[in-house]
Structure 1
Amino acid sequence: MKQKIATFLDSISNDIFNISKYLYDNPEASFKEFKACRYLTNILKKNNFQVTEKLLNIPTAFSAKYGEGHPKICYICEYDTIEDEGHITGHNLISSMSVAAAISLSKVMDKFQGTVIVLGCPGEFVGSSKITMKKQGIFDDIDAVLMAHPDIVTAESGSSMALLPLKINYKSPASLSYRKLINYSSLDACLFTFNSLNLLSKGLNNTSIDGVIAKGGSSPYLMPTEAEAKFYIRGTKMCYVENIEKRLREFIKNISNLMEIQSEISIYELPYEELITNSTLSRLFSHNLKESGIIDIKDPKDTYSGLSIGTISHCVPCIHPYISIVESPSIKYSSGEFAMATISNYAHDKVIKTAQALAITALDLIEGEHLLQEMKSELYKNTNKNFIINKKD
């Protein structure tokens, strides 16, 4: 079966490269990925997947299924870009790897019971549809979620930061600046918040606060009537982040009272929980990646970024390993050169080998009931432990 997967991938190699190239040539911003969505779903339909378009009424989201029953193995497609930047983070390759893995696995599914699922998840850069899908129960019946991310190093799946986006809006009365020198403006409150948090954040453990002033007045002649600040609270666990959020809300309330400025606090994007890598799944994938020809695999990579798959990993066993797609060490991640590297022959070779490992890992789970149980027991142990930490805090 594993050889059949490898042989089939070799036979569709050009089609897989065309996915990477098409998405590269047609970059689309978050939740506007109409061409990408249509291209990917057409390929899956041609390979006899049952496709649901506009999943959860999200125009560029989709679900594609092949087979029936459990285990249900899910691959993730991401395909948005940062507007005007192109595929500097390689989302085009995430889609090509996942689709290649899913289709090749489907070609041996007639021998087994199980379901291959591909989820098209738009909007990764602005809150991610995966979080909405999780809230709406899309992942409730899935046994494992697999995806791999292009990078400048090949590394095992590690952890990510929990992330909570918080917006603070200050409002003050309108006036001419030269007539109101003794009164505080909304911008005064905003600047005081930044200066105070910059000092206070130095004493935080396991968390950090990053912010930007999004709005702060239009003319020096007028006192700013409204100032807006946006923050990312990051932490190694969501319980730490939520604790800082509570303290920050109280802090803002005190500033508002002290300076007699109105304030409003809101969450402006969906929060991400920290990634819990399933070590059973990671072990299987790393073994299969070596068997597929990618030998040099670094230790688990932890990222300062928030990852939407982190939230999913609290209800389904997940992995998010990294695959080097660059030959030159001078190429930096999230650069124009990195985007160009995604359509190189070197990157394409990595895509095929990674897709093979992703497909064979799923096959291992389908054939091995004991692996499924080990994976699920680990998930229960990890999430139950986190629950105890949350109660304690």
Structure 2
Amino acid sequence: MKQEMATFLSTIKDEIWELTKYLYDNPEESFYEYKSYNYISNLLKKYQFEVTQSYLSIPTSFYAQYGEGHPKICFTCEYDALSEKGHVYGYNAQSAISIASAIALSKVIPKLGGSLIVIGCPGEIISGSKVAMVEQGTFEDIDAVLMVQPHTITAESGTSMAIIPLQIKYTDNAHKDTLDGKYSALDACLFTFDALNVISKGFENNCFINDINVNSINNSYLQSVEARFSIKTSSSKLADKIENKIKSFIDLTCSLLNVSSELHLYDIPCKELITNPTISRLFSHNLKESGIININGVKNIFSPLNLGNVSHVVPCIHPYVSIVQDSTIIYGTKQFADATITKFANDVIMKAAQALACTAFDIIEKQSLIVDAKTELSKMETSNLQIH
């Protein structure tokens, strides 16, 4: 049946290139990906997927299904871009890989049993929809989530950073007529940021407090100050511990400087990616079988991934495949976007799609792999809980 999928993929190669090119030609900003959303949804409908549009009341999100019951394997699609530079992150090619894999797998699912899910995930660049989907329970009934990220290197799925975006608001307590000798909200803000660097040093080398932005609110005198910053570290559990220390310090600051404070999230927290070892090994094997031999070890990234939140609920992988021939091209640039529609990139997209479809096939055919993958996830989550 794997050969059947490979043969079928060869018959839709032009159609998948047209998908990649259409998304490239029609770059759309996060949560406004109407053309991309409609194109992908209609393509899935053409191949008899049952498509729920505007999934979870998100206008450019969809949930597509082929088959019934378990095992239930999920592919994700991302399709937002930058309005001026286009698909600099290659999400047009990422969607193409997932769609090609899904269509190929649908040809053998009736013989295998189980079901195949494709989820359209808009807004990946700014905040993503996957985190909201996790909160709504989308992935609780899914056995594995698979995706491949086009890049300038080919590498195994690794991890990403966890991030907690916080906002502090300090407000003066005293009346303006009693300001002499009084600490201001700005003093409290500066005092806090002086301490943040010290707090971060008490944990690990890969702990950062950054993305700092301060906004003062004036009302004839300095009355309040709002400051935003992000806690970025290797583990969401560690980030929680740092957040608790910051809360304690803010309480102390309010007491010492006679100010009031408010602390809350200004965006959705993102957990670190947990790569599933069993599925990752399967994909690497299938990638080599598809003709992509050189895999450059594990790639860890120092930015957040919305898939990270999903990976704490269901076994996931997020490997990388190089779609460029020119080694000077940098990921995240217009040159990289242009590379996504070359003949070389299309060949890689089809090989990666074959590997992804074969990995899903392996999981469905040998369901003990799902048990192994879920056991591994449980053990890794338990290990995270023991961080101190």
Change (3 A) 1:216 1:113: same
Q: CA RMSD in A?
A: 2.3
2:304 corresponding residue in structure 1: 306
Residues 233-252 of structure 1 correspond to what in structure 2 (within 5 A)? 233-252=231-250
2:192 corresponding residue in structure 1: 193
What secondary structure is seen at the aligned counterpart in 2 of 1:63? strand
Taking the aligned partners of 1:344 and 1:79, their CA distance within structure 2 comes to 18
2:336 corresponding residue in structure 1: 338
Taking the aligned partners of 1:86 and 1:169, their CA distance within structure 2 comes to 36
The count of aligned residue pairs is 386
Taking the aligned partners of 2:45 and 2:214, their CA distance within structure 1 comes to 43
Shift, 1:263, TM fit: 2.1
- Structure 2, unaligned runs of 5 or more: none
Shift, 1:252, TM fit: 2.0
Summarize deviations over 1:33-57 as a string: whole Å, max 9, x none: 2221111101101110000011111
User: 2:185 is aligned with what amino acid?
Assistant: S
Residues 183-262 of structure 1 correspond to what in structure 2 (within 5 A)? 183-205=182-204, 206-216=206-216, 223-262=221-260
1:320 corresponding residue in structure 2: 318
1:378 corresponding residue in structure 2: 376
State whether residues 79 and 91 of structure 1, in contact with CA within 8 Å, keep that contact through their aligned partners in structure 2. yes
What secondary structure is seen at the aligned counterpart in 1 of 2:51? strand
Shift, 1:182, TM fit: 5.1
Taking the aligned partners of 1:162 and 1:300, their CA distance within structure 2 comes to 18
Taking the aligned partners of 1:262 and 1:81, their CA distance within structure 2 comes to 41
What secondary structure is seen at the aligned counterpart in 1 of 2:138? coil
Taking the aligned partners of 2:343 and 2:220, their CA distance within structure 1 comes to 57
2:294 corresponding residue in structure 1: 296
Summarize deviations over 1:6-60 as a string: whole Å, max 9, x none: 1221211121112222222222222222221111101101110000011111111
User: Between the two proteins, what is the percent identity of the paired residues?
Assistant: 49
User: 2:346 is aligned with what amino acid?
Assistant: H
Stretch moving more, 121-130 or 148-157 = 121-130
What secondary structure is seen at the aligned counterpart in 2 of 1:88? coil
Shift, 1:145, TM fit: 0.4
1:47 and 2:47 aligned: yes
Change (3 A) 1:59 1:279: same
What secondary structure is seen at the aligned counterpart in 1 of 2:297? strand
1:30 corresponding residue in structure 2: 30
Change (3 A) 1:186 1:343: farther
Change (3 A) 1:224 1:30: farther
State whether residues 158 and 275 of structure 1, in contact with CA within 8 Å, keep that contact through their aligned partners in structure 2. yes
User: 1:378 is aligned with what amino acid?
Assistant: E
Summarize deviations over 1:85-122 as a string: whole Å, max 9, x none: 42211111111111110011101222121101001111
Taking the aligned partners of 1:55 and 1:2, their CA distance within structure 2 comes to 31
Change (3 A) 1:74 1:253: same
Taking the aligned partners of 1:70 and 1:341, their CA distance within structure 2 comes to 38
User: 1:160 is aligned with what amino acid?
Assistant: S
Taking the aligned partners of 2:144 and 2:187, their CA distance within structure 1 comes to 50
Taking the aligned partners of 1:370 and 1:292, their CA distance within structure 2 comes to 24
Taking the aligned partners of 2:38 and 2:54, their CA distance within structure 1 comes to 11
1:69 and 2:69 aligned: yes
Summarize deviations over 1:152-202 as a string: whole Å, max 9, x none: 1110011112221111123348999xx968554434433333333234433
State whether residues 175 and 222 of structure 1, in contact with CA within 8 Å, keep that contact through their aligned partners in structure 2. no
Residues 147-166 of structure 1 correspond to what in structure 2 (within 5 A)? 147-166=147-166
Taking the aligned partners of 1:93 and 1:366, their CA distance within structure 2 comes to 25
What secondary structure is seen at the aligned counterpart in 2 of 1:126? coil
2:16 corresponding residue in structure 1: 16
2:283 corresponding residue in structure 1: 285
Taking the aligned partners of 1:37 and 1:167, their CA distance within structure 2 comes to 33
Summarize deviations over 1:325-356 as a string: whole Å, max 9, x none: 12122111111211221222222111111011
Residues 357-376 of structure 1 correspond to what in structure 2 (within 5 A)? 357-376=355-374
1:146 corresponding residue in structure 2: 146
Q: TM-score, normalised by structure 1?
A: 0.91
Shift, 1:144, TM fit: 0.7
Summarize deviations over 1:196-225 as a string: whole Å, max 9, x none: 32344334315221132152358xx96444
User: 2:30 is aligned with what amino acid?
Assistant: S
Taking the aligned partners of 1:85 and 1:256, their CA distance within structure 2 comes to 45
Taking the aligned partners of 1:339 and 1:214, their CA distance within structure 2 comes to 34
State whether residues 170 and 263 of structure 1, in contact with CA within 8 Å, keep that contact through their aligned partners in structure 2. yes
User: 1:228 is aligned with what amino acid?
Assistant: E
1:59 and 2:63 aligned: no
User: 2:196 is aligned with what amino acid?
Assistant: L
State whether residues 65 and 118 of structure 2, in contact with CA within 8 Å, keep that contact through their aligned partners in structure 1. yes
State whether residues 201 and 207 of structure 2, in contact with CA within 8 Å, keep that contact through their aligned partners in structure 1. no
User: 2:273 is aligned with what amino acid?
Assistant: L
Summarize deviations over 1:230-266 as a string: whole Å, max 9, x none: 2221222221110000011121222233333332111
